[in-house]
Structure 1
Amino acid sequence: MAASAVDVARTDGGPVAHGGRQVVGAGRAFALTLVVTGFAGLLASWVIVLDKFHLLEDPDFTPACSLNPVVSCGNIMESEQAEVFGFPNPMLGMVAYGVVIAVGMGLLAGAAYRRWFWLGLQAGTLFGVGFCTWLQYQSLYEINALCLWCCLAWAATIVMFWYTTLHNVRNGILPAPEGVRRTMAEFHWLIPAVHMGIIGMLILTRWWDFWTS
């Protein structure tokens, strides 16, 4: 449940009392991170959905991001993994990223939320990054192709997940030793950078012969 900016005086995202219960807001940087990553994921999902519709209308349609045998969005869209839940995966992304944008905009407006809300956001981003990890494996080692728009959605979800985790650790929503909290706050950029760096290295080594030919 959100509290208005009038009810919540703190602007650093720290917990405050509201109606006898603790609510937690967020700083502008984290709110903007949610908005930007949400829009990036929404854009990627929207483009993929449009291309999927074109592909259904015309089996010979070639998406603009199908550049070569490796970077081939068409191969990804035609795979079984592209419809895990019985409909195109990006349709789920359009809903999920839209929710994240709404949360970020609310925070920019001064909203603060109770612990269960933040745990829900944590669970949602955890599911998102886990699902993206599975899709990454499928893309690299089963489908044997990459989709650039998918890569944008992966990067957005990774950043979204780790900064949500940082926010929840810093505000005591997720319990962690003080040393861990300080380290995460000081090197907040390192974990998502390493995470994406590992994915980049896997992509590089998976098609090393192609990239170097």
Structure 2
Amino acid sequence: MTASGVRNRPIALAIFMIFAGLIGLWASFELMIEKIHTLENPGVDLSCDFSLVVQCAANLGSQQGAVLGFPNPIIGLIAFMAPVVVGAAILAGARFNSWFWVVFNLGIAGAFAFILWLAYQSIFNLGTLCVWCMTVWSVTIPLFWAVTLRNFKVGAIPAPKRIRKAAGAAYSWVPVIAIVGYIIIAVVAQVRLDVLAYL
């Protein structure tokens, strides 16, 4: 492969997708282990239960914790394989057509919408913050912005030139965008739950 061919591949994005996917898999696995513990020993104190507010038992035992009729961590164990595989394929030299990036982006957008809904449910209805859930949120947020802005930037998602230009400018600011997202969730959680008082 030529040097220009290597430059045209989103190497940095691929590495980040692998990194984010592995963290998401790890968090989903830990949540699944905790869920198994609750099934084997109902009422047991879980390792992720730190206080009345910072815990995962309430989340795992809720209806929101099994949206499709089975524990949400199973979704994570399946879904987070996608960015790992796609990232590894890019590093191995694979190139994907625009339709693939659009479908991949739709999947990540769905994950992004799902974690926003779960964050809302956790803060406003369950009144808890789950450590492993927040780990999943922390990688899904930048993953969504990185893939989406990249796709607009390179034209994988059709858009006017000015939008592509704006996406290109915003692409390098993904870490900042993600941090702003974290801060918004943290502020809302603090205002709603007074988390600091329970630490």
TM-score, normalized by the shorter chain, greater than 0.5: yes
Distance 1:182 1:103, change over 3 A: closer
Letter in 2 for 1:38: G
Letter in 1 for 2:196: W
In structure 1, runs of 5+ residues without a counterpart are: 14-25
Tell me the SS of whatever aligns to 2:174.
coil
Shift of 1:28: 1.7
Q: Which has the higher strand share?
A: 1
Distance 1:61 1:199, change over 3 A: same
Distance of 2:168 and 2:100 partners within structure 1: 24
Q: Which residue of 2 aligns with 1:12?
A: 7
Select which of 65, 86, 90 maps to 1:82. 65
2:92 maps to 1:109: yes
Letter in 2 for 1:184: A
2:167 maps to 1:184: no
Which of these two proteins has the greater Rg computed from alpha carbons?
Answer: 1
Tell me the SS of whatever aligns to 1:63.
coil
Distance 1:181 1:159, change over 3 A: closer
5 Å-filtered alignment, 1:164-203, equals 164-174=147-157, 175-176=159-160, 177=162, 178-203=164-189
Identity %: 31
Shift of 1:187: 2.7
Shift of 1:51: 0.8
Select which of 64, 70, 75 maps to 2:47. 64
Shift of 1:12: 2.6
192-201 vs 119-128, which moves further: 192-201
Shift of 1:34: 0.2
2:196 maps to 1:211: yes
102-111 vs 192-201, which moves further: 192-201
Shift of 1:166: 1.9
2:21 maps to 1:38: yes
Alignment TM-score, normalising by the size of structure 2: 0.91
In structure 2, runs of 5+ residues without a counterpart are: none
Contact 2:108 2:143 in 1 (8 A): yes
Shift of 1:60: 2.5
The Cα offsets for residues 154-186 of structure 1, whole Å up to 9 and x where unpaired, read as: 011111111001210121112242541342134
Letter in 2 for 1:211: L
Select which of 135, 142, 147 maps to 2:118. 135
Alignment TM-score, normalising by the size of structure 1: 0.85
Q: Which has the higher helix share?
A: 2
Distance of 2:197 and 2:66 partners within structure 1: 33
Tell me the SS of whatever aligns to 1:40.
helix
Distance 1:185 1:160, change over 3 A: closer
Q: Which residue of 2 aligns with 1:146?
A: 129
Q: CA RMSD in A?
A: 1.8
Shift of 1:212: 4.0
Distance of 1:157 and 1:63 partners within structure 2: 24
Distance of 1:67 and 1:188 partners within structure 2: 31
175-184 vs 147-156, which moves further: 175-184
Distance of 2:49 and 2:6 partners within structure 1: 45
Size of the alignment, in residue pairs? 195
Contact 2:142 2:177 in 1 (8 A): no
